[in-house]
């Protein structure tokens, strides 16, 4: 099977890829997913090893990357922060350089985005961002791939994100704008997405004919949405603010009433883990509007395509 070739060595944010590369990634993902479902092996990374550095918790990211590299014929190494000398102060530059002598790719989940960038700078193997405080590109790519499976061409569709202007809001804005999706963000005052990321997304949107808007109004943002998306009010690293945030985000919730009154045909998405009764009601998450399990599954298929492309062609 021919692996698509792309220009970037790393995937740190969605805009490391071009529009046509995302389209090519989705095409390749469909092939891998179909083969996997048919029980056909595709050992495109036979003998290769992915190091998976986790400085934050994970269920989906860890299991989908580890399963994915195994299905591609390689192996995944879980590298927890406290099990590595990195946790005892070994310089990141040394860690990245040394790991690059052993393994063929690095997936990193960490706090500051600059750390993921530093791994790319000081290592010599491809680096994949498995979530930083600012971006979660693999999740956004899996989300738009899921939308593409459900509704075909994405250009002109509307995705509304309700909640914190965080790593998910950023990645959904960037990827959506690149794909021609109208992205509408509703956040409480003080929790808007980063202005530079909004500006970058709006630049992409100009080229694809889409729009990127930010408002405080959940109702206004949700009008006629094809997808209503939300994420936790307190992300990893913000646990000490969780109680305060419950008050600050009150009302920034996907409810059945919101769907009925503003976006009756909307599909509901959430990167998970979810807090039922906070950013989304249990009724909505467990209703036929919800496609959360499909998007979680697609993390596996999209990331296999990402790994094969970055680790199999460089």
Q: Which residues are catalytic?
A: 109, 136, 139, 231, 271, 299
Least distance CB 223 / ligand CP (angstroms)? 27
Cα–Cα distance measured from residue 20 to residue 63, given in angstroms and rounded to the nearest whole number: 28
To ligand CP, the closest distance from the beta carbon of 135 in angstroms equals 12
Q: Is 171 in the site for ligand CP (CB under 6 A)?
A: no
- What are the backbone angles phi and psi of residue 277, rounded to the nearest 5°? 95, -10
* Contact by Cβ (8 Å): 183, 173: yes
Which span sits near ligand CP by CB under 6 A: 58-66, 80-88, 156-164, 215-223? Answer: 58-66
List binders of ligand CP among 102-131 (CB under 6 A): 131
Shortest CB 174 distance to ligand NVA, Å: 15
The helix (run of H) or strand (run of E) holding residue 212 is strand 212-215
Contact pattern from residue 266 through residue 295 relative to ligand CP, giving x for each residue in contact according to CB under 6 A and a dash for the rest: -----xx-----------------------
60 closest CA partner among 227, 292, 282: 292
Instruction: Report CA 161 to chain centroid distance, whole Å.
Output: 14
CA-to-CA distance for 157 and 182, rounded, in angstroms? Answer: 6
Element (H, E) at 78: strand 75-80
Q: Pick the piece of the chain touching ligand CP (CB under 6 A) from 52-60, 153-161, 184-192, 205-213.
A: 52-60
Question: Which residue in 36, 58, 114, 215 binds ligand CP (CB under 6 A)?
Answer: 58
Residue 231, contacted partner among ligand CP, ligand NVA, none, CB below 5-8 A by kind: ligand NVA
CB of 136 to ligand NVA, least distance (A): 6
Cα–Cα dist 50/123, whole Å? 13
Residues 187, 164: Cα–Cα separation, whole Å: 6
3-state secondary structure of 294: helix
Nearer to ligand CP, 146 or 208 (CB): 146
The minimum distance between CB 59 and ligand NVA, in angstroms, equals 9
Q: Is 194 in the site for ligand CP (CB under 6 A)?
A: no
Q: How many CB atoms lie within 10 A of CB 229?
A: 29
Q: Which residues bind ligand NVA (CB under 6 A)?
A: 131, 166-168, 231-232, 235-236, 271
Q: Which residue has the tokens 């005892």?
A: 88
Per rule CB under 6 A, is residue 238 in the interface with ligand CP?
Answer: no
Q: Which residues bind ligand CP (CB under 6 A)?
A: 58-61, 131, 139, 271-272
């Amino acid at each position: 099977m021919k692996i698509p070739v792309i220009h970037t060595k790393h995937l740190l944010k969605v805009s490391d890829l071009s529009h046509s590369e995302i389209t090519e990634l989705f095409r390749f993902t469909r092939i891998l997913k179909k083969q996997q479902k048919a029980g056909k092996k595709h050992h495109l990374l036979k003998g290769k090893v992915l190091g998976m550095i986790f400085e934050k918790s994970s269920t989906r990211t860890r299991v989908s990357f580890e399963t994915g590299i195994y299905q591609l014929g390689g192996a995944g190494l879980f590298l927890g922060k406290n099990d590595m000398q990195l946790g005892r102060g070994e310089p990141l530059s040394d860690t990245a350089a040394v790991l690059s002598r052993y393994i063929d790719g690095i997936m990193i989940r960490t706090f500051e985005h600059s750390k993921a960038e530093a791994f790319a700078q000081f290592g010599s193997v491809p680096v994949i961002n498995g979530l930083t405080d600012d971006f979660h590109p693999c999740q956004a790519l899996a989300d738009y791939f899921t939308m593409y499976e459900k509704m075909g061409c994405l250009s002109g569709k509307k995705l509304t994100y309700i909640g914190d202007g965080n790593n998910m809001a950023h990645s959904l804005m960037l990827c959506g704008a690149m794909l021609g999706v109208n992205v509408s963000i509703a956040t409480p005052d003080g929790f808007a997405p980063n202005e530079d990321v909004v500006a970058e997304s709006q630049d992409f949107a100009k080229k694809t004919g889409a729009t990127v808007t930010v408002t405080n109004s959940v109702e206004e943002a949700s009008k006629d949405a094809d997808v209503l998306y939300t994420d936790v009010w307190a992300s990893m690293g913000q646990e000490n603010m969780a109680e305060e945030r419950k008050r600050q985000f009150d009302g920034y919730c996907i409810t059945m009433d919101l769907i009925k009154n503003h976006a009756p045909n909307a599909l509901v998405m959430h990167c998970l883990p979810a807090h039922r009764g906070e950013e989304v009601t249990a009724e909505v998450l467990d209703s036929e509007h919800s496609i959360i399990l499909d998007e979680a599954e697609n993390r596996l298929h999209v990331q296999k395509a990402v790994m094969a492309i970055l680790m199999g062609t460089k």
